[in-house]
Amino acid sequence: MSVPSRADDLRALEILHLREIEGLSYMDIARRMGMTKGTVIGLVNRINKAADAVPCLCRRPENKDGGMPPRWWEGRSCT
**Domain total for the chain?**
1
Q: Is residue 72 part of a domain?
A: no
Distances (CA, A) of 13 to 6, 10, 59, 60: 11, 5, 23, 22
Host domain of residue 38: 6-59
Q: Is residue 13 part of a domain?
A: yes
**Does the CA dihedral 55-51-10-66 come out positive or negative?**
negative
Q: Is residue 22 part of a domain?
A: yes
Band of pLDDT at residue 54, cut at 50, 70 and 90: confident
What CATH number should be reported for the domain holding residue 50? Answer: 1.10.10.10
Spatial distance between the Cα atoms of 44 and 38, rounded to a whole number of angstroms: 10
Residue 26 — very low, low, confident or very high, per pLDDT cuts 50/70/90? very high
pTM for the whole structure: 0.75
